[in-house]
Amino acid sequence: MNELPHSPWSDTTDEVAQSLQTDPKHGLTDLEVTKRRKMFGENIFESRTKQGPLSIFMRQFASPLISILCLAVVITALLQEWLDTAIIAFAIIINAILGFIQEYKAEKAIDSLRSYITHRTLVIRDGHETEIDPRYIVPGDILHITHGARITADARLIREINFTADEAILTGESLPVEKDIAALSETTPLPERHNMVYAGTLGIDGSAYAIVTATAYDTEIGKLAQLVDETESEKTPLQMALSKLTWAIIVFTALAVAGLFAIGLVQDRELTEMLIISIAVFVGSVPEALPIGLTSILAIGVTRIAKKKGIMRSLTAAETLGSTTLIITDKTGTLTEANMQLVDIDTTEQLNAPDFTPSNHQDHFNTAQKEILTLARCASDVVIENPDEPYDEWVMNGSDLETNIVKAAAAHHITQSNEDRSDIQIRIPFSSKYKFSVIRIPSSYLPSHLRDFEDPHVVMGAPDILIQCSYHDHHTKERLLHAVAEHSKAGRRVLGVGLLTPHTEPSTITTEHVRDVTFLGILSFHDPVRKEVPDALKRINSYGTRVIMATGDLPGTAVAIANEIGWNVTEANVLTGTQLQQLSDEDLDAILDRIHIFARVTPKDKLRITKLHQARGEVVAMTGDGVNDSPSLKAANIGIAVGSGSDVAKSVADLILLDDNFKTIVATIEEGKQILANIKKMFVYLMSNALDELILIGGAIIAGVALPLSAVQIIWVNLFTGSLPAIAFAFDRQRMREDGAASRQFFSPRVIFLTVFIGTLVSLMLFALYLTLLHYHIPEALASSIVFASFGTYTLFIAFSFLDLTRPIFRYSLLENRLLLIGVGVGLLLMVATFTVPFLRSTFGVETLSPLWIGFVLLWSVVNIVVVELAKWIANTFVVHKVDKH
């Protein structure tokens, strides 16, 4: 045997055994196992998503702005400007420590994929059943899968007894899948391959034997692992914006330095002097406080998201939440409660009515409905671990539907103790092959009008099977089947209930005796929409963020849920996985706008959907919980894994929800918008100051006058004085009044205009002040000290104007952000210290200012606040409105 079967689900059991050269009864020989281990290797695969402390710490230096600061450290060290070197290096280290602490706390580095194949496995070899380490499984091995066993390789079933499997981690389907051995079409999608079992899934009921058809990376879970590794994580909008900013700073600074060199050569200045001037320009162009302020805003935002039951795995991803334009969500457990509840019981008479439509009588069952519920309770094989507790606190073992039958029965005072059930006997357990169960009950459980029913047996299962086995005529059967189909269209699961007399000894009853059934009616179950979802959707839509659904469910179920949450969709708004696979990217892109639901989709489908929307410029958030979701979670701009989901999904996601609730997604996105708003405030505040230094120093060189500020003074204002208000922005809770695209863009028209306008005007004013002081023969040392004091002081005070870029300063509270008050206060104390403490005064080379000049410095700060407010008025009145009109 040199290759694995291509589609074993389409082959018969004998064909699969022949292609894999194995004996279905005796299994492989030890000699053959040794050969195949050399050929196929061990049944393991490594998870490549794990990140250790060192990689997390080193990642903090990957920021483009940090790269510039590192370059500044090298240059200042070469020039032996040790104080400048120390101050910039300090900023870099503090930023790295802050980022590392936050990300290391959130990182859950678990080897998730390996965890799914670390269980012991039963195999048949040389005719003997033995338990082995799953890593030694090879293609052709015969697996014996029992109740509760973890399946450790992909395999084709050859024998099964009432076997069901939980395949939620691969397909997203929350209910156990009923298995059989019949061959299927080669085109059968994975969720419908009922004759296959897959690595990582779980055996629920019954038992089975299966031939291993794939191991390690050839398994479906292995293919997903490879897909995850091959999928590139998208850069966040903030990372892309900062990358553009960094290149802008590099190009702009390079041109400025080149220009200054040219001017210096014309002025016959010394090379050493020009190098010092160049480093001053370089340092002045870099906002040293930006990385620290940015990390602080993200870290505080991540902490607030955690309080709203969301865990961010990286800091930069937190900002992406605020930029999200599209959410691709699953249905079960996110939009719905993932809890099938009994909502209706319809008798045969109701189903047979000409105008039948599904209804909801969950709390008001009539006598006939309660009689059917009583019989369904008899047929429900559920163990209650704490029967003495109130029914809403019961811990039950059984299928999802049957446990809900028991709860609903108890709610209607229909209870059965263990003694009551001692006379109830299961004659035919539920089978995926026949899709019903048969239970013998005492006549005392029968409705009064059926008490004369001979040897009563309850039949419960698929309604279409029970109806076909009933005594009704063809016309009645068709009407009953039509009524059942209406329930399915409404997104409900249904169980039929009937009675029969087997006319045989109880011990000899078989499925052949299930005929002439007295069909009594159906039980209808519904996974209810979470109560908070409709309001949450309205809130998220108000931000201009769209929501679409990608689910493994059938189209009818998905449409029913979508309409229940208020989407008002039709079949024209639905695309199935099969239809999607038949469309080219160009054809699919042409219809994307009208598709609200993608149904019966595969992991590759989800990945394709995500990438197509990203190609259109969307910032995509994707929710998921299973291994099958991991490729699309990684590819999305923001991957959101639910807390109850698989470790694989969590290991590649950016955000982990602790309560599996769509409302929490909305809350975290709102927090993301606050993070983005605070970053904008801080960015405009710091970058407008960066232009101050460039214009001051460049202007002085062009004018041929002494430099008004030294490199150490620039770094002091940027890093220590200015960084305090910048960090305080992290704690600000005032929402800016931005709508639509502007609220999601980092470099919005408002941000760009304010940065350039304020930075240019304030800088020119400060340079004009310096020239004026020199013109009136103020000594250079004093003039420089006045400029330094003015620069440092107004840098602090104008921070209040940046608390909200959309409103004037008198329209919002200046006292709400107490940390900003403290930051400005501490910053003022630092400025005072530089002029009063002898050591600092000598280090910074400043003169003591008289009360008159101190008053002038404070008045200059007020003038600058007025300038900033003027800029905000122009931006909000003309710039933003003009852009909106276009």
Catalytic residues: 330
- Biggest alpha carbon distance in the chain? 121
Gyration radius of the chain's alpha carbons:
35
- What sign does the CA torsion over 539, 543, 549, 550 have? negative
Question: How many Cβ atoms sit within 10 Å of the Cβ of residue 731?
Answer: 17
Q: How many helices (H) and strands (E) does the chain have?
A: 34, 23
- Gap between the Cα atoms of 107 and 250, Å rounded: 33
Strand order in the sheet with 518-526: 341-347, 518-526, 493-500, 457-461, 436-440, 425-428
Closest CA to 433 of 208, 179, 184, 193: 179
Alpha-carbon distances, residue 294 vs 31, 102, 638, 656, 798 (angstroms)? 62, 13, 19, 22, 19
- Gap between the Cα atoms of 65 and 290, Å rounded: 8
Cβ burial of 74 (10 Å; 0-12, 13-18, 19+) is exposed
**How far apart, in Å, do the first and last CA atoms of the chain sit?**
66
Alpha-carbon distances, residue 206 vs 150, 459, 465, 509, 861 (angstroms)? 13, 20, 22, 20, 79
- Gap between the Cα atoms of 665 and 442, Å rounded: 51
**Token duo for residue 617:** 């410029």
The runs of H, that is alpha helices, within 412-544 are 463-468, 474-489, 533-542
- Gap between the Cα atoms of 489 and 357, Å rounded: 11
- 75 close to 279: Cβ distance less than 8 angstroms: yes
- 390 close to 415: Cβ distance less than 8 angstroms: no
The helix or strand, by DSSP H or E, that contains position 574, with its residue range, turns out to be strand 574-576
**What are the residues facing 656 on neighbouring strands?**
311, 641
CA angle centred on 74, ends 72 and 77, rounded to 5°: 105
The runs of H, that is alpha helices, within 308-347 are 315-323
- Give me the half-sphere count of Cα atoms (radius 13 Å) on the Cβ side of residue 525: 21
Q: Pairing relation of β-strands 638-642 and 341-347? A: unpaired
**Token duo for residue 511:** 């499925």
Question: What is the SS3 string spanning 117-142?
Answer: CCCCEEEEECCEEEEECHHHCCCCCE
- Gap between the Cα atoms of 105 and 56, Å rounded: 11
